[in-house]
Structure 1
Amino acid sequence: MTDLPGTANCPCGGGRYAECCAPYLRREEWPPTAEALMRSRYTAFTLADAEYLLRTWHPRTRPDTLELDDRQWTGLDVVDQVDGGPDDMMGIVGFVAHFRLDGHTGALTERSAFVRRGSRWVYLAATPDTE
């Protein structure tokens, strides 16, 4: 896993890395909301931190291993959020994650479901498109 300097902008677009996703990826804190977890997971993808991705995935839906591809993640747009606050038990976060792969640009659009497991938010699964 590669880390970023604390003064760098966070890949998730949420501010400086040191105050945004670094405490989560460095295992110093746990994200307090579903959106914070989703943003930290996006940042983990940009840094190829498969261990963090697996650790923040619900055990019922988590794969045994995770092979990351060669996408270069270039930006994140949060487009929707339902619940997922500090006092909620469930939440959904919709996002568009932009990437480059083999000289081409692309985007991954997803609505992710998150649940609390104990006192911690974990990624459950992508939700079906309801439109």
Structure 2
Amino acid sequence: MEQQCPCGSGDTLAACCGRYHAGELAPGPEALMRARFSAFALGRNDYLLATWHPDKRPASLPDEDPTHWVRLEIVDSHGDGDQGRVQFRATFREGSRWGVLEEDSTFTRRDGHWCYVDGEPRVTRLKPGRNSPCPCGSGRKGKQCCMRGGTLGS
């Protein structure tokens, strides 16, 4: 069975963000945002650095990241010429702690390539209960999903 794309599109990774990771150009800001989220989820630092605006790009990203990205929600997306914005919510876990990163990101097209410029992230910590809906978005209770047996599942 083919791996589902982490961006939540419902498509396989190969049919969705994987093609951008393999070199196909993202057609717009939302597609690039989804591909970058998937790259974070998959540890594809090469793709993240390659799609960061060169004036804002960090020199490197840590090889080991304790953050496990589990869900992406696009709140709003629009583009105008060579400029674009994507507002999103990304749910993550670090160990047994859950959180949501919200950001209104800016993108620009340089030489035909869309790239991430910047955004102002806001992080909110979540405290899901075992009987609450799982923050991963599965629709199941936490105890039947990522919090099985009192610990985080896979």
Range into which the TM-score falls when normalised by the shorter chain: 0.7 to 0.9
Aligned twin of 1:102: 95
Aligned twin of 2:82: 89
TM-score by length of 2: 0.73
User: Relative to structure 1, is the Cα distance of residues 125 and 104 closer, same or farther in structure 2, using a 3 angstrom cutoff?
Assistant: same
Give unpaired runs (5+ residues) of structure 1: none
> In the alignment, residue 44 of structure 1 is paired with which amino acid?
A
The structure showing larger relative contact order (alpha-carbon pairs under 8 Å, at least 6 residues apart) is 1
SS in 1 for 2:48: helix
Shift of 1:69: 2.2
User: Relative to structure 1, is the Cα distance of residues 109 and 39 closer, same or farther in structure 2, using a 3 angstrom cutoff?
Assistant: same
Shift of 1:8: 1.9
Aligned twin of 2:107: 114
SS in 1 for 2:32: helix
Contact 1:113 1:127 in 2 (8 A): no
Aligned twin of 2:48: 53
Q: Take 2:121 and 2:42, find their aligned partners in 1: how far apart are those partners?
A: 27
Largest Rg, 1 or 2: 2
Give unpaired runs (5+ residues) of structure 2: 123-154
TM-score by length of 1: 0.85
Identity of aligned residues (%): 42
Q: Take 1:66 and 1:34, find their aligned partners in 2: how far apart are those partners?
A: 22
Aligned alpha-carbon RMSD (Å): 1.7
1:35-65 Cα offsets, whole Å, 9 max, x none, are 0000000000001111110000010111111
Contact 1:12 1:75 in 2 (8 A): yes
Q: 1:41 and 2:36 equivalent?
A: yes
Aligned residues: 120
Q: Take 2:7 and 2:75, find their aligned partners in 1: how far apart are those partners?
A: 13
> In the alignment, residue 13 of structure 1 is paired with which amino acid?
G
**Which 4+ residue blocks in structure 1 deviate beyond 6 angstroms?**
none
Shift of 1:82: 2.4
Q: Take 2:98 and 2:3, find their aligned partners in 1: how far apart are those partners?
A: 23
Question: In terms of mean alpha carbon deviation, does 11-20 or 113-122 score higher?
Answer: 11-20
